[in-house]
Structures are given as structure tokens and as C-alpha cells.
Amino acid sequence: MSFLEINSLRKVFGDTVAVDDVSLTVEEGDFITVVGPSGCGKTTTLLNVAGLQAPTSGSIELKGRDLTDLPAYKRDIGVVFQDYALFPHKTVAENIAFGLKMRGESQSKRDEVVEEMLSMIDLEGYEDVYPHQCSGGEQQRVAVARALAFDPDLVLMDEPLSNLDKKLRQSLRTELKRIQRETGVTTIYVTHNQTEALSMGDKIAVMNNGNLEQFADPKLAYEKPASPFVANFLGQSSRIDGTLRTDSAPHVQLENGAILEVDVREGFDDGDAVAVFLRNELVSVTENQPADVNAFTGRVAEVDYQGRDVIYYVTVPDLDVTVQVSGDGRGTVYEAGKKVWLSIAPEDVIYTASEGRTGDQKHAAVQTSVGAQ
Ligand SMILES: Nc1ncnc2c1ncn2[C@@H]1O[C@H](COP(=O)(O)OP(=O)(O)OP(=O)(O)O)[C@@H](O)[C@H]1O
């Protein structure tokens, strides 16, 4: 039995299937990130776990207890939602102590916990301050403290950092991870930001269209995606379709006859239709022909200089696609029209079982990921 078990969760609103069929098991102390494009069912999943919505079907068990008929306030679950604002007319201390007060804890116990929480979120001395006197980042830290103060079994966070600027979001990410490590509280964290999901999660759940596409260690999901959707969603890459050949030099045979050497992935057989994803940071771009096996010549079609990095869109006739690659912005920056060589090591070539091709995919070879920030 796992700490949290979500079994075949389904939630339908009229004609809309918000969550189709999601099953997920979470171990105690884990920090799980849930990521996926807008409307894929992340928030609905969380609301059902929190008890703020009732599932159409399926069940949720926490510590072996079926939560289905348990109201939200009896679930021992702390929530931090993007629009779940602090109580504006209560001080920071009163906000943090709210759950404890509801439980009938004494004033001295509440004061003790508030002090402990304020120290944890680095806001000592903020007891009597009101939310409107706090910055956005401070308010979110107070919201986290409020969710943790009553020592919940589980904490659910829905895009808690999305209203903050990039720099603050990065520092709060680190802080949230530290707080979670210190408290050891099992946490489910929803975001549409892939970097956040990969960097924060002990495990990452990738959702699409109300379903769970992959639930795995972030590195595994990034390097061995379970589906073309996951490969495309986690990271920037260019897609090419072909057929896997697992003879002496394993390779993917592309439709135009070109060959990309690859490592063989467990579970794949000779003749499988595969979708190859060239991660833009794993493709090298050079002026001279490299000695590597997977080397292709092409022409720079577009240059996107970003300071430290430079992104090139290189048209490669042999691969029949425009490949997106990142180069070093600090060195020589190639101009549009320049002839260059692209190469990628066989072990860096990512592929998944192809979901069946449509005519559109061939022409949409440059796949930028959705929602990257
Ligand atoms: N109360 C509701 N009534 C009707 N439809 C809803 C309701 N809540 C969600 N939906 C629909 O269910 C689907 C999933 O929504 P949900 O909010 O769970 O997605 P999400 O992945 O959290 O999206 P976002 O990242 O934009 O917050 C969407 O199509 C949404 O419009």
C-alpha cells in the first residue's frame, strides 16, 4: 500500500472530460510535480484530491483511508493555490494559525507554531503585518506556511509561483524545496513550466488531455520519454520519423533513406516505427565536418541570439527537416546562410514509439515545447 493512491480518477463536467483516467501512487515524503499544457486536467486532479470537488468515478486513498466521502476539512491536506489568497483582514500570524485555531489549539500552541513557521519562511517579525503590506513573494511564503502549520499529511500546491517574476520564482523554488526537505511533508506541486517540474520533482507526472502520459524520475522522463508528447513537451527538440533497425549498428532509417545511429532502448524491436527527437542542446553545430557518425551538413536559416546561447534553425536536406540547435553565444556566431555541420552522438538520440503519423507532422519538424518560460 502506498501513502497516496489515486485510482482511475475521472472527472467530467457536462461534455468536457477534465480528467479521463488517472492512476497515481505517491510514497511518503515525495515531492511530485504535475506538468502539462493548459486544460490537461492538473488543477481538477488536485481539487479532487483536496476534496474541493467530487470525482465522477474512481477513488483516492491517503494512508490507507478512503477519502471519497470525507469533506475537505477532514482530510488533513494543506493547499496553496494560485488564487487561494490569504485572508486580507487577518494578520500574517492569524493567517498562519488559522487551521490550528479551527482545530481548537490553544493560543500558546498557535504562537509557538507561528514563530516556528515564520522562521522557516524567513519572515521573522512579520506577525502583525497584513497581507497587503507584503510583497507577492512574501504572500506566497505565508500561504505555504499556512498550509504547513497544522502539520498536514499532504500538501497540494497549484502554480504557487506563477504570478511572480522570473528571478523571485527561481529563489522561491529553491526555498520551497528546502522547506519540503526540512518538513518531509509529502507534496504534489502543479505547474505548466517544464523547467520547474524537472528541477523540483523527485518524480514528475506528465499529463495530456486528462490522462497521465508518464510518471517517472525527471531524468528518465527527459531521456526516455514514454510518448512523443512527453518527448516534445519536456525540452526543445526537432522531430523526425523513421524505422528502428537493431542489427550490428543499431540505427533509425529515415523515410528519405538517411540513417541515424542510435542506442537500442529496452522494449524496442527491429522494424518498430519510431519518432526521433533531436534535443537542441545535444546537437553540436560546427563549421568543419566532424568525424562523428551522425554528421549532416545544412544551412543556417535563422539565428536567434540570446546572449549566453544562440539558437540556430538549420535546414538539413539529408534529414528533410529544419533542426533547432543551441550554440555558444560567446563564441563565433554564425550568420544566416552559412553552411554548417550538425552532429549528435548515438546515445544522445532520443526516440519513442511513434503514435502514427499524420501528414502535418512531416511539415512541423521544428517542435518547440509548449509553455516553456
Ligand atoms: N468547473 C468546471 N466546469 C466546466 N469545465 C471545467 C471546470 N473545471 C475545469 N473544466 C475544464 O476541464 C479541463 C481541465 O481543466 P483544468 O483546470 O483541470 O486544467 P489545467 O491543466 O489545470 O489547466 P491550467 O494549466 O490552464 O490551469 C479544461 O478543459 C477546463 O475547461
Is-contact 347 293, C-beta < 8 A? no
In a domain, residue 23? The reply is yes
Ligand 1 pocket mutation pick from 42, 49, 158, 212 by most atoms within 8 angstroms of CB: 42
Q: Are residues 204 and 285 in the same domain?
A: no
In the sheet that 339-343 helps form, which strands lie side by side, from edge to edge?
Answer: 284-286, 339-343, 295-305, 309-316, 321-328
Ligand 1 pocket mutation pick from 12, 20, 43 by most atoms within 8 angstroms of CB: 43
Is-contact 191 46, C-beta < 8 A? no
* Among 175, 174, 178, 200, CA closest to 189: 200
Give 357's pLDDT tier (boundaries 50, 70, 90).
Answer: very low
Q: What is the pLDDT of residue 370?
A: 37
Q: Are residues 41 and 141 in the same domain?
A: yes
Q: Are residues 243 and 192 in the same domain?
A: no
Q: Are residues 99 and 248 in the same domain?
A: no
Burial (CB < 10 A; 0-12, 13-18, 19+), residue 25, is middle
Average pLDDT for the chain:
90
250 CB near ligand 1 (under 6 Å): no
- Cell 489515486 sits at which residue? 6
Closest atom of ligand 1 to 45 CA is 18
In a domain, residue 227? The reply is no
* Among 191, 188, 229, CA closest to 212: 229
Judged by average pLDDT, the poorest of 17-21, 89-93, 178-182, 203-207 is: 178-182
41 CB near ligand 1 (under 6 Å): yes
N-terminal to C-terminal alpha carbon distance within the chain: 37
Separation CA 254–CA 275 (nearest Å)? 10
Q: Are residues 14 and 162 in the same domain?
A: yes
In a domain, residue 368? The reply is no
Average pLDDT, integer, range 281-306: 93
State the alpha helices, DSSP H only, in the chain: 42-50, 92-102, 107-120, 136-149, 166-183, 194-200, 218-223, 228-233, 359-363
Separation CA 44–CA 39 (nearest Å)? 9
42 CB near ligand 1 (under 6 Å): yes
CATH code, domain with 186 = 3.40.50.300
- What is the model's pTM? 0.87
Is-contact 232 367, C-beta < 8 A? yes
- List of residues 6+ apart from 132 with CB closer than 8 A: 88
Separation CA 19–CA 209 (nearest Å)? 8
Separation CA 274–CA 262 (nearest Å)? 12
Q: What is the pLDDT of residue 331?
A: 86
The pLDDT > 70 percentage for the chain reads: 95
**Interface predicted TM-score of the whole assembly (ipTM), two decimals:** 0.97
**CA-closest residue to ligand 1 atom 13:** 18
Q: What is the pLDDT of residue 209?
A: 95
- pLDDT of 363 above 70: no
Q: Are residues 90 and 208 in the same domain?
A: yes
- pLDDT of 294 above 90: yes
- List of residues 6+ apart from 351 with CB closer than 8 A: 244, 252, 262, 265, 268, 274, 275, 276, 277
Ligand 1 pocket mutation pick from 10, 11, 12, 16 by most atoms within 8 angstroms of CB: 16
Q: Are residues 279 and 334 in the same domain?
A: yes
CATH code, domain with 298 = 2.40.50.140
Q: What is the pLDDT of residue 371?
A: 36
User: Which of 160, 188, 220 finishes a domain?
Assistant: 220
Domain that holds residue 31: 4-220
Q: What is the pLDDT of residue 84?
A: 53
Q: How many domains does the chain have?
A: 2
